[in-house]
Each structure stands twice: as structure tokens, then as C-alpha cells.
Amino acid sequence: MGLSAIISLIVFVIVVIGILSQKIDKTLISMLGAVFLLIIGTFSHPMLAIRNYVDFNTLLFLVGIMLFVDVLKKTGLFESFAALILKLFGSNIYALFWGLTIFVAIIAGYIEVIATILIFIPITLSITEFLNVNHMPFTLGVIFASQIGGMATMMGQPPNIMISSATMFSFSEFSGVMYPIAIISLVISNLLILLFFKSDFSIKLDRSKLKNFSNDSSKDKKKLSVAIILFIIVVIAFIFHHELNIESSTVALAAGFVSLLLISPKEVEEILSKIEWDIILFIFALFVIVGALIETGAISYMAQLLFNVSGESLILLSITVLLISAFTSAFMNNIAITAAFIPLVSYLPTLNPLVFSNLNPVWYALSLGTCLGGIATPIASLPNMIALNLMFKSTGKKISFTELFKYGFLILIVNIIVSIVYLRVVVF
């Protein structure tokens, strides 16, 4: 590797360590790294490099979907979902746990996991406080369910959004492979949580209290109806966007701004200010940093190392990608890992066009690894960080790294084993 490649790799490692340490804001350290690489002349044409290496489809998708969710939240749609869950499953604590986590997993596949966390962690804490039960198994269940549910579709998880932008998968093709393993992973996660917190599920719920939950008559019924219709239309649009030859980001932006027009046209500035702009800038910076790795040849060097490890076996390569992405994503942010792996995988046909003519198994392995790795620790993914921050603000209690790790890492290990078997049987 040349000097510029080594510098780019050093910057990438420093940024990842900074994110891992949590001693400096992730957006700040990543933006500083990106700006440094632009200043020192890593790219011969910086603006052209930004256009070539930054995936604006992913960024605009996130802007649109965050806007859409913020608008829908104001209508009371998600509180209605919670009330419905309690009505259907509130008579039994096991049924409530399964009903809540399954519902969250389904929603996460269509409105993106970060948005799902922002909606359902507060709702989950409200439900557990109202019923006077331990919030921990329910909170962990929702965190893991959102991550796993988001894994099932191209739009649910940030890694999947990035992978779908780099590939030609249709919604139905991708979900046809990922949905079954997501269901299996959710069942494994839930069963292990029930085992970890066995004593907390031995109580009986007071059904008479359920009538008083979320009985908010002040909500605008007309706006709620509009929100329900919009939600259904947007889900359908996402499912068929490939067939309609429309980018996922276009669907998301349309969803966000049309909902804003129909539901909250006088609150544009307020709602726009609630978009998680720090997350958008964080991902933008990662694209620039990884772009530097591509520009300088560092990615091609790492691709060659990966190729040397797996030889000419597509199966071994896919399993290697799954394992490396899963375990690195457990300790480093999975968006950063995905951003680094995408150009690396894309480069493989250059090394052996015959063996790597079909990279689909490798892309599925990368999705499984980064999404599952994201459940293992508090720092593994943005949804985890956001969820734990929301929980701390609501309860005043923190989940330590060790506490989440002892639950999440075991769930990760079991799901990795099952995923390897699934890849071998179903994908190849």
C-alpha cells in the first residue's frame, strides 16, 4: 500500500476507535476525519469524490423516513398501535411480550429501525410502568426485535439500505431470502430473553386496568385516519418501488413531505428540526472516509486479503464475511462496518470474475452479519445507543456495557450458528 492508502486506513481506524470509546461524539469524530482527508488532498477532485462515493440515496431515504415518522407520531397513530397491542394481548404477560415484539419487528421492516426505536421504546416504557412490571425484558425485547425485524427488508436497517443502494435486489427478492431467517432469529431472541428473565414472567396482569391505557380523546380523528391511509400506501410503495422504477429515497421523501402537507402544514420548521441531522452527517462522513480507502487502493488490498483467506470458495467467502462483519459490528458501529465492506465485496469480481459472478450470497451474509452484530453491545449500532438514551431519560437507569453484552452476545452467537446453516441450505 502507498502512503496515501496507509493514511486513509489510519484515519478510518482512529474514527472507529473514537466511536468505540464513546469519549467523543460519533458525528464530530467522523466529520473531523472526513474533513481532514479532504484537506490533505486524498482526493484529486474533492467535489467529484463526494458525488461518486457518498450514497445520497441512503441519506435522502433516512431524511424522508424520519420526517414521515415524526409527522405520524403527532397523529397518535403509534399510541393507537400500543393500545391495540394491550387490548389483544394484555391479559397475559407472555402474550403481551410476544405480541409487542412481533409487532415491533414487523413495523421495523417498513419504517426503518431507528424510527421504530424512537417510537416504541417510550411506548414500551409507558406500558410496563402502567402495568407495574419490570421494563428490562420488554425493553431488550423491543431493541432486539427492531434490529431483527429491520433485517428482513431492504429498508429496515441502515446496513440494508446501504446494501440495497449498492446492488440490484428487488424488494421481493431480498425479503424472500431474509424474512424467514429474521423470523427464526426473532423466535430465538425471544426464547432466550424469556429464559434470562424467567421470574419476571411469573406474575399475572390486572386486566381491569387495561381500559384506562391511552384513552386519549383529544387526538384529531381525521388526521389519524389520514395517517393510517398514508402508512398503508407508503408500505405498498416501498414493496413495489423496484417494479415502478422509483428509488427508495424518492418514496421516502414523498412520504415525508406529502404527510407534512396533509397533516402538519403549519409545523414545517418544527418537524424538520426534529430530524436526526447528526445521524445524517455521521453517515455522510463515513461514506467520505470509506471513499478515501477506495480512492487510495486500501480497499483493493483488503479485498485481496479476504480473497486469500477464502480461496475460490464462494461458500467459505460468504461465511467469512458473515463472521467478520458480525463480530466487528458487535464492537464497532455496524454502519461503519457496512460502509467498509460494500466496496470491498464489489471489488471481488475483479479478482476472479468466474467465481464471483454472483455475489448475492455474500451480500446476504453481509446483511446478516452487520444486522445481527448490531444487537450485541450498547455501541454496536445507532438504534442501541438511541434506545438506551431514551430509557435513561425515562427511568434514570443505565444499562451497562456488561449487562447488555451478556444478553446480546449470547443471542448473537446462537443466531450466527443458525444463519450459517440457513445460508448453506437456502441461499446456495
DSSP letter, residue 152? T
Contact 39, 7 (CB under 8 A): no
Query: Nearest 5 degrees, angle CA 65-CA 181-CA 79?
Result: 40
DSSP 8-state assignment for residue 427: I
Question: Which pLDDT value is given to residue 313?
Answer: 81
Determine the Cα–Cα distance for residues 216 and 209; give it in Å rounded to an integer: 15
C-alpha distances (whole Å) from 181 to each of 169, 327, 426 are: 17, 18, 10
Euclidean distance between CA atoms 102 and 109, whole angstroms: 11
What pLDDT is recorded for position 188?
96
What is the per-residue pLDDT across 218-266, written as a single tens digit (0 to 9) for each?
Answer: 568 888 899 989 988 987 887 777 678 888 789 889 999 999 999 999 8
pLDDT at 322: 93
Cell of residue 8, nine digits: 486513509
The stretches in the chain having pLDDT less than 50 are 217
Cβ atoms 341, 333 nearer than 8 A: no
Residues 149 and 112: beta-carbon distance below 8 Å: no
pLDDT of residue 384: 80
Is-contact 153 112, C-beta < 8 A?
Answer: no
Element (H, E) at 135: helix 135-150
Structural domain count, the chain: 1
Structure confidence at residue 367 (pLDDT): 94
Residue linked to cell 441450505: 425
> Taking the chain, what is the end-to-end CA distance rounded to the nearest angstrom?
34
The pLDDT value recorded for residue 210 is: 62
Residue ranges making up the domain that contains 410: 3-427
What pLDDT shows up at residue 40?
92
User: What is the length of the chain?
Assistant: 428
With H, G, I as helix, E, B as strand and everything else as coil, classify residue 256.
helix
Q: Would you state the pLDDT for residue 181?
A: 96
Vertex 377: Cα angle to 299 and 118 (nearest 5): 100
Q: What is the pLDDT of residue 297?
A: 82
For the CA atoms of 157, 163, 164, 165, the dihedral, rounded to the nearest 10 degrees, stands at 110
Is pTM beyond 0.85? Reply is no
3-state secondary structure of 264: coil
Amino acid at 52: N
Report the chain's C-alpha Rg in angstroms. Answer: 22
- The answer to whether 372 and 323 have CB atoms below 8 angstroms apart is no
Q: Three-class SS of residue 352?
A: coil
Provide φ and ψ at 168, rounded to 5°. Answer: -110, 25
| Alpha carbons 195 and 315: distance in angstroms, whole number | 34
What's the distance, CA 274 to chain centroid? 19
